[in-house]
Amino acid sequence: MRRPGVYSGMFTGVDASSRIGPHSLPLTRIKKIMKSSAAGNVSDAKMMISVEAPIVLSKVCELFIEELTRRSWATTATQGKRKTLLHDDVAVAVNDTDNFDFLVGMVSRGGRRRGAEEDSDGVITHL
């Protein structure tokens, strides 16, 4: 469901997501994930990633996180004066938004899925 006018000021400097400067997500970590994801598809080949690719992916991830947070926060705001975003708020936002259907199995109501493994950085690597 697209809300009219939501993205109109995104790249004009009106919104916080159009900020210029250091990225919120570490570019080296993004590049490492890109290489590890591609390594499963290519056997023993060196992967070359352009300089721009991690930067673009970082921006896309920031926008995705911002949109998911906004929709989750809208769920929280309807429930009263609570100022804390909970896992269930994110699950409701995912279930209510068609664009987030790919997350329905990963974000279920009632807490974290069993069988999720975290690496040393706290990133879920296997479900």
Q: What's 80's domain CATH number?
A: 1.10.20.10
61 contacts: CB under 8 Å, gap ≥ 6: 25, 30
Residue 50 lies in a domain: yes
Q: Is residue 5 part of a domain?
A: no
Looking at the 3D structure of the chain, how many domains does it have? 1
Residue 44 lies in a domain: yes
- Interval 19-53: pLDDT, tens: 566 667 889 899 988 888 776 666 556 778 899 99
Residue 22 in any domain: the answer is yes
Please state whether 45 falls in left (phi above 0), alpha (psi between -120 and 50) or beta: beta
Q: Which residues, in sequence order, are bridge partners of residue 126? A: 117
Query: What DSSP character marks residue 32?
Result: H
In this predicted model, what pLDDT tens digit does every residue of 75-104 receive, in sequence order? 888 877 788 888 888 999 999 988 998 998
The verdict on residue 32 lying in a domain is yes
